């Protein structure tokens, strides 16, 4: 995890705040949460958040920031490649930002509560960052991967973003 990782919540999450605001209260999941910018924001919105990552130092920061703000965030250390089961489904909201693990597609869909929302955004093959090709989305990949969900918003360029609901 980079020391200069952004602290502001992802613009994709902020842009869809109104969809999150009408979700019933409940649990949310931040997949590969890093230093927790999105987990903390979800908790500020009133969700009880499971923040999962394999980086112990980043999780310590998440837990410290959550405690300082009095937020309901549980920092959970897990290597999702080895252990792709998600901590405490069902979730009202799942956020997956700047992280791509294709074996999680099925578990993410299964972990959503009926009516629950998935917010997914990460880099595509059109991005110019030096990244391993395997971590970049193919054209329309998110649409294909989450075809079992109802897509509410989709955008694709150097990053692809999807908001989808489990009906
Ligand atoms: C680019 S950061 C994104 C962090 C956060 N989602 C954000 O948007 O700020 C990618 C994160 O994925 C985590 N990660 C990478 N491989 C992982 C794995 N196998 N299991 C859990 N977390 C992983 C890293 O530790 C890192 O925090």
pLDDT tens-digit series, residues 91-117: 999 999 999 999 999 999 999 999 999
How many domains is the chain built from? 1
CATH number at residue 65: 3.40.50.150
Q: Assign 4 a pLDDT band (cuts: 50, 70, 90).
A: low
- For residue 29, tell me if it sits in a domain: yes
Q: Give the pLDDT of residue 39.
A: 98
**33 neighbors 78 (Cβ within 8 angstroms):** no
By residue range, what is the domain housing residue 122?
11-165
State the closest ligand 1 atom to the C-alpha of 80, by its place in the atom list counted from 1: 20
Phi, psi of 42 (to 5 degrees): -60, -40
Residue 161 is assigned to a structural domain of this protein? yes
Domain membership of residue 25 (yes or no) is yes
Cα distance between residue 98 and residue 79, in whole Å? 16
Q: Are 110 and 104 in contact (CB under 8 A)?
A: no
- The answer as to whether 4 is a domain residue is no
- Residue 3 is predicted with a pLDDT of 53
Would residue 75 count as lying in a domain?
Answer: yes
> Which residue's C-alpha comes closest to atom 2 of ligand 1?
34
Q: Which of the four pLDDT bands, split at 50, 70 and 90, describes residue 135?
A: very high
Distance of CA 50 from the midpoint of ligand 1 (Å): 14
What pTM, to 2 d.p., does this model score?
0.97
- 36 CA to middle of ligand 1, Å? 10
87 lines ligand 1 (CB under 6 A): no
Mean of pLDDT over the chain = 96
Is 18 within the bounds of a domain?
yes
Domain annotation covers residue 3 = no
Please state the atom number of ligand 1 nearest to the C-alpha of residue 37: 9
Q: Residue 65: is its pLDDT beyond 90?
A: yes
Is the preceding omega at residue 90 within 30 degrees of 0, hence cis? yes
Residue 35 domain flag: yes
Q: What is the 3-state secondary structure (H, E, C) of the chain?
A: CCCCCCCCCCHHHHHCHHHHHCCCCCEEEEECCCCCHHHHHHHHCCCEEEEEECCHHHHHHHHHHHHHHCCCEEEEECCCCCCCCCCCCCEEEEEEECCCCHHHHHHHHHHEEEEEEEEEEEEECCCCCCCCHHHCECCCHHHHHCCCCEEEEEEECCEEEEEEECC
Residue 80 has pLDDT above 60, yes or no: yes
**Pocket test residue of 10, 12, 34 for ligand 1, highest count of atoms within 8 A of CB:** 34
């Amino acid at each position: 995890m980079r020391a200069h990782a952004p602290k502001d919540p992802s613009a994709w999450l902020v842009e869809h705040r109104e969809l999150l605001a009408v979700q019933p209260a409940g649990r949310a999941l931040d997949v590969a949460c890093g230093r927790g910018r999105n987990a903390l924001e979800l908790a500020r919105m009133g969700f009880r958040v499971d923040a999962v990552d394999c980086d112990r130092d980043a999780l310590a920061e998440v837990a410290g920031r959550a405690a300082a703000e009095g937020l309901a965030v549980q920092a959970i250390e897990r290597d999702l490649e080895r252990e792709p089961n998600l901590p405490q489904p069902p979730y009202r909201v799942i956020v997956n930002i700047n992280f791509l693990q294709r074996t999680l597609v099925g578990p993410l869909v299964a972990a959503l509560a009926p009516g629950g929302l998935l917010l997914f955004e990460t880099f595509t093959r059109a991005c110019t960052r030096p990244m391993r090709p395997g971590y970049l989305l193919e054209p329309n990949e998110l649409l294909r991967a989450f075809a079992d969900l109802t897509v509410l918003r989709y955008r694709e360029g150097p990053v692809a973003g999807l908001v989808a609901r489990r009906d």
